[in-house]
Amino acid sequence: MVSDQNSGTATSRAMSERAFEIEKKSFEIIDSEIGNHGYTQLQWPIVRRVIHATADFDFAGKGKILFHAKAIESAFNAIMNKCTIVTDVDMLLAAVNKKSIADLGLRTTCYISDDKVAEEARRYGRTRSEVAMRHAASEMDGGIVAIGNAPTALNEVIKMIREDVSKPALVVGIPVGFVSAPESKAELAKMDLPFITNVGRKGGSPAASSIMNAILLLYQKKKSSV
């Protein structure tokens, strides 16, 4: 008789293999439907993972994802230096792959739910997202900032960079929304600082976390091939 523990292990392994096959088939469908895309060898796995997470092919078309020339290189250097990943919301923080974070010795942080942040936001009539970014200034410096929800957070990060308060190694700015989201991303795209963003209203935590997870996987693949 197979023990419950062995049976559970076998089931877990089978589910993992099944999930891998589903993901692989999904990527094949995306590759087939997109065809020629114009992204580089390192950029395309990131864009493809966003499409996989959202089922939205606009991210390769009119919602095109934009990469600063040094975005991936700078992200890899930050990861090598054991950077902190700062997110705008807890949902995005929760979606960044925990095993990759642990394996690479990285830290993640988000201050959106911090009591001090909430109090300061009420006192000064600011959004919690804006205040949370200020609270993360030191961790953001040399780190990676991932914003998927709040355009006000992205605008605050841009302001902090221009004020020399902080200098992230990479800003993943892909907030979703109708108010300020397209404008904040357009402003980020003008900056001479490593960024990944997109055009228009679309975005969100699933898109931002998929970008982060793709970068972590690319770094791990590069590291294992050396």
Give the residue from 165, 163, 190 showing the smallest Cα distance to 173. Answer: 190
More confident residue, 150 or 13: 150
Domain at 78, CATH number: 3.40.50.10230
Q: Is the pLDDT score of 10 beyond 60?
A: no
Q: How many CA atoms lie within 13 A of 206 on its CB side?
A: 11
Judge whether 20 lies within some domain: no
42-82: pLDDT as tens digits? 999 999 999 999 999 999 987 799 999 999 999 999 999 99
**Does 11 map to a domain?**
no
Task: Quote the pLDDT of residue 14.
Answer: 52
- Domain count of the chain? 1
Q: Which domain holds residue 217?
A: 60-225
In-domain check, residue 29: no
Q: In this predicted model, what pLDDT tens digit does every residue of 128-172 receive, in sequence order?
A: 999 999 999 999 999 999 999 999 999 999 999 999 999 999 999
Residue 4 pLDDT class (50, 70, 90 cuts)? very low
Domain assignment present for 88: yes
Task: Encode burial over 26-50: b for 16+ CB neighbours within 10 A, e otherwise.
Answer: eeeebeeebeeeebeebbbbbbbbb
Does residue 17 lie in a domain region? no
Please give the model's pTM, rounded to 2 decimal places: 0.90
172: β partners = 146, 196
pLDDT of residue 6: 47
Give the chain as a 3 state SS string. CCCHHHHHHHHHHHHHHHHHHHHHHHHHHHHHHHCCCCCCCCHHHHHHHHHHHHCCHHHHCCCCEEECCCHHHHHHHHHHCCCEEEECCHHHHHHCCHHHHHHHCCEEECCCCCHHHHHHHHHHCCCHHHHHHHHCHHHHCCCEEEECCCHHHHHHHHHHHHCCCCCCCEEEECCCCCCCHHHHHHHHHCCCCCEEEECCCCCCHHHHHHHHHHHHHHHHHHHHHC
Do the domain assignments include residue 220? yes
In a domain, 109, yes or no: yes
Does 135 participate in catalysis according to the annotation?
no
CA-wise closest residue to 139 among 83, 211, 197 = 83
In tens, the pLDDT along 88-127 reads 999 999 999 999 999 999 999 999 999 999 999 999 999 9
Active-site pick, 37, 52, 68, 135 = 52
Q: What is the structure's pLDDT at 98?
A: 96
pLDDT of residue 36: 86
* pLDDT, tens digit (0-9, with 9 covering 90-100), for 184-220: 999 999 999 999 999 999 999 999 999 999 999 999 9
Residue 112 falls within a domain, yes or no? yes
**Which residue type is seen at 170?**
L
pLDDT tens, residue by residue, 162-193: 999 999 999 999 999 999 999 999 999 999 99
pLDDT level of residue 7 (50, 70, 90 thresholds): very low
